[in-house]
Copies of this chain bind each other. A is one copy, B any other.
Amino acid sequence: MSSKRVTISDIAQKLNISASTVSRALKNHPALKKETIKAVQDLANKLNYQPNLLALSLRQKKTNTIGVIIPEITSHFFSSIITGIQDVLVNSGYNIIICQSNESYKEELAIVENLLRIRVDGVLVSPSSRTKKFNHFSKLKQSGVPIVVFDRDCPNLEVDKVLVDDYDGAFQAIDYLIKSGCKKIAHLSGPKNLSTTNHRLQGYLDALKKNNLPVKEEYIVHASGFTHEEGIQPTKTLLRLKNPPDAIFAINDCIAISAMYIAKKLDFKIPEDISIIGFDDEPHTRYFKPALSTVWQPVYSIGMLSARILLSHLKNPDNTPKLRKEIFKPELVIRHSSIKI
């Protein structure tokens, strides 16, 4: 930061008036003489005056900055949510600090400390998959920083939440697979103890139950993360079973794509031999051969709504309305990697 930036008192001096007059002139205070206002604004422009938001923040105890904590930014899922968040918040004059936890609880803790120090006005967070305690978030809340949790739930944490009905998304997918004739449906699940993982697993289980299909332990395999690489081994485990599945429901599209890749390598025909359904509807997926069936989530809306809810808190800081828990419905998108009903 340069030290030679022009300030209000610089302008005041040159004009032989007081700093407060300059301050008022800059915001067109009605009680000022028009000439004064004009003189000040002209000089301000000429000198390229930029208000120092730092000083303003300090005075107003308000930084107009929001912290956003996500597991990682390179996934299309989270970066799309961020776009939704930014579109709302930037338009309301807020700055956004995006922080990646890299799925690490420890980094998440450090991030929260930092956000506290820089005095963000609010926080939007999707916790890491390794986060089991949420005290750090409670701490934020206790310090008066409103929080909205999105996508991944923090059970028992009493804050506003914007989630997706993962249970329903999974249920729809499995129900469809069964109706299309699949009987041996496997689930490439995600990291354990994550709300999204759990809910999708439960949807899977209940859909089987409802259709009187047995649950086979060996058909449920957990990937340790959400990348392609992490999908390879679990898929192999599944397809090398003596009695391999005739359908795979994957925790997300990357894993589903790995599954397609391995399935083809092992000479399974998709969808004749095996149906595959993913989750997220990433932009690439429709261009695969066969085009991937998947469960679409309203990513952009998730971001927007989370931001809007946070905004509403920032506007009425005092009143504590009852907790909001918004749940979006996902939609099954059937393409060609699963048999049509």
Contact = CB atoms under 8 A, between A and B. Distances in A.
Interface of A: 1-5, 48, 50-55, 57-58, 61-63, 72-74, 76, 79-80, 82-83, 86, 95-98, 100, 113-114, 116-121, 139, 143-145, 227-228, 254, 257-258, 260-261, 264, 282-284, 287-289
Contacts of A3: 61, 144
Closest 6 CB pairs of A and B: A2-B144, A74-B79, A284-B284, A261-B287, A50-B116, A1-B119
Nearest to A58: B54
Contact of A257 (B63, B260, B287): B287
Contacts of A144: 1-5
Contacts of A51: 117
Contacts of A283: 227-228, 254
B121 A1 contact: yes
Q: Which DSSP category, helix, strand, loop or mixed, fits chain A's interface?
A: mixed
Which of A5, A74, A79, A117 counts the most chain B CB atoms within 10 A?
A74
A232 to B, nearest CB: 10
Chain multiplicity (copies): 2
B119 A52 contact: yes
A116 to B, nearest CB: 5
Nearest to A257: B287
Contacts of A261: 287
Nearest to A285: B284
Nearest to A314: B1
Contacts of A82: 73
Contacts of A264: 289
A53 B260 CA distance: 50
Contact of A117 (B2, B53, B62, B117): B53
A63 B63 CA distance: 13
Contacts of A97: 95-97
A307 to B, nearest CB: 14
A264 B39 CA distance: 67
A70 to B, nearest CB: 11
A54 B50 contact: no
B74 A100 contact: no
A316 B276 CA distance: 56
Nearest to A5: B143
